[in-house]
Amino acid sequence: MAGLGGGGGASQFLPRLVGYGQSMRLLLSGDNIDAQEAWRIGLVEFLVADDTVNDTAMILCQKLAEHNPLAVQAVKSAVRGALSMPLEAGMQYENELTTLCFAVGNYQQGTAAFSKQRP
Domains observed in the chain: 2-48 (3.90.226.20), 69-117 (1.10.12)
Contact between residue 16 and residue 84 where contact means Cβ atoms under 8 Å apart: no
pLDDT at 2: 53
Res. 68 pLDDT band, cuts 50 70 90: confident
Average pLDDT over residues 44-55: 95
pLDDT at 1: 45
Question: pLDDT tens for residues 16-35?
Answer: 999 999 999 999 999 999 99
pLDDT at 95: 92
What's the angle, vertex CA 84, arms to CA 83 and CA 86, rounded to 5? 95
pLDDT at 24: 96
Distance from C-alpha of 42 to C-alpha of 65, rounded to nearest angstrom: 24
Percent of the chain predicted with pLDDT > 70: 83
Number of Cβ within a 10 Å radius of residue 23:
21
Distance from C-alpha of 90 to C-alpha of 23, rounded to nearest angstrom: 25
Distance from C-alpha of 30 to C-alpha of 7, rounded to nearest angstrom: 12
Q: Which amino acid is at 11?
A: S
Mean pLDDT of the chain: 87
Secondary structure percentages of the chain, helix, strand, coil, to 5: 75, 0, 25
